[in-house]
Structures are given as C-alpha cells and as structure tokens.
Amino acid sequence: MNKITVHMTKEFLYDFLLFHAYSKFSGFLINILGLAIAFVGVFMYVSGKTGPVSVVFYLAASVIFLGSMPFQLKARAKKQVEINPEYSNPVEYTFSDEEGITAAFREEERNYSWEQIQRAVVTPKTIGIYYGSDRALIIPKQDFGEQFADIFQMIARHLGMNRVRMR
C-alpha cells in the first residue's frame, strides 16, 4: 500500500488538459485548419491573388485559431483549481493491490477498483488515471516523490502496458 498527498496547481492541470485536448482527433484538426488558413493566405499572396494587407489578416486569423485552444485551456485550469474541491484542497491517494485507488479529501472518500480503471496516460508533468471516458484522477508527478516507481509499476501491473500511454 502506498500513500501520497496531491496538491494540484493550475500549471499541472493545464499540462493534463493540453494533453487531453490535443491527443484527440479534434485537437489534430484544429492544428491542421489553423495551418491551412496561414498556407492559403501565403499561397494567395505569392500567386498575386491578394495583397499584403489580406495576407496579414490570414496570418492573424491563423494565430488566433491556433492560439485560442491553449488560452481557453489555461483559463479552464485556473478556474477549476479555484472552484473544484478535488483540485483546491490536498487529496490523499492510497494505492493498494487489493482495493485499487482511494481518494480522500475533506471528509469525503472515493474508491476506484482496478476494474473501474480503464487506462492511464503519462504527460510531461502529470499522470492521468481514467475511470471513465473523460473522467480521470490527475496526479502531478512531483507529488509521487520517491514512490513513483512503485506506484507506476502497480498501475502498469493492473492495467497492462497496452492501457498505459506514455508521452
């Protein structure tokens, strides 16, 4: 049995939200469409079909299109850390081979059996343990401390490496 205490910050939550948004097909499409806007503007300028003012508008639209998602995710992370009790308060996680994962915060306790856990993802700063299609326990790597290897091995053992995605 391993216990850790998690202190969520907007930076860690943003890291996870960024991964979550851009790991889906819709995130890929946003990037492609943003780059396509810039490409069309430059192509039209080079081919003489538009002037320099128009190409500036194309490029500005492209920057807005590409930059809006990260900006929205940063704002969402900040808001969630402020209003969500699971993020605004320390959460104590207990990892057990027999019982799964227990999350305790305030006077509330939630249990997640290993059968409930669908997959895990590792981002540069966090580990997300999904117990639903869009529901995850998000744990900053730094909060694992020296227990990181033991807990990660437990997660991989129960899920299998085919359900653990590393970035």
pLDDT digits (tens, 9 = 90+) for 20-36: 888 777 778 888 888 99
pLDDT > 80? residue 81: yes
Q: Mean pLDDT across the chain, nearest whole number? A: 91
CB 91 within 8 A of CB 103: yes
pLDDT > 80? residue 143: yes
Q: What is the CATH architecture of 2-8+85-166?
A: Roll (2.30)
Task: Name the β-bridge partners of 105.
Answer: 108
Predicted pLDDT of residue 28: 82
Predicted pLDDT of residue 125: 93
Structural element, H or E, at residue 90: none
CA atoms within 13 A on the CB side of 147: 17
Provide the percentage of residues in the chain whose pLDDT is more than 70.
Answer: 99
Predicted pLDDT of residue 4: 95
How far is Cα of residue 142 from the mean position of the Cα atoms in its chain? 16
